[in-house]
Structure 1
Amino acid sequence: MTRARRSTGLGLELPPAALAAMHSQLATLADDVVATIVDEVPSYRDAFSGPMGETISSAVQLALGGFLDLANRGRTDDLSAAPAVAGSYQLGRGEARSGRTTDALLSAYRIGARVAWRELSTTAVSHGLGAEVLADFAELVFAYIDEQSAAAVAGHSDELATTGRVRQRMLERVAHHLLSGSPVDQVVAAAERASWEPPLTLTAVIVPEPQARRVLTALSPATLPVADPPDLDEGVLLLVPDAHDHRRAALLRILADRGALAGPARPWLEARASYDRALRARAAGAELDTEAHLVPLVLDADAAARADLRAQALAPLADLRPGTAERLADTLRAWLLLQGRRDEVAAALFVHPQTVRYRMGQLRELYGDRLDDPEQVLALVVALG
Structure 2
Amino acid sequence: MHRIPDPPAEVAPIAASLRSRAPELGIRMARRIRAEVTYYGSEGGVAFDELSASCQRNADLVFRHLAGDRGSDMTPALDTGRERARRGDPLADLLHAYRVGSEFLWTELAAEARVAEGITTDIFVALAAWWVCEGLAAAASDAYREETSELVLQRERERSAMVEALFTGMLTDRTTLWGAADMLGLPTGGPYLVVAAEVPAPGREALPAIEARLLAEQLRSAWRLLPDLQIGVVAVQQPGAEETALRVLGRSPDSRVGVSPPYRALQDTPRALRLARVALAGVRGRPAGLARFDDSPAALLVASAPDEAARIARAVFEDVLELPATERDRLLETLECWFTAAGSTAGAAERLYCHRNTVRYRLHRLEELTGRSLRDPRAVADLAVALHALPLLSLEQR
TM-score by length of 1: 0.47
Structure that is richer in helix per residue:
1
TM-score if structure 2 supplies the norm length? 0.46
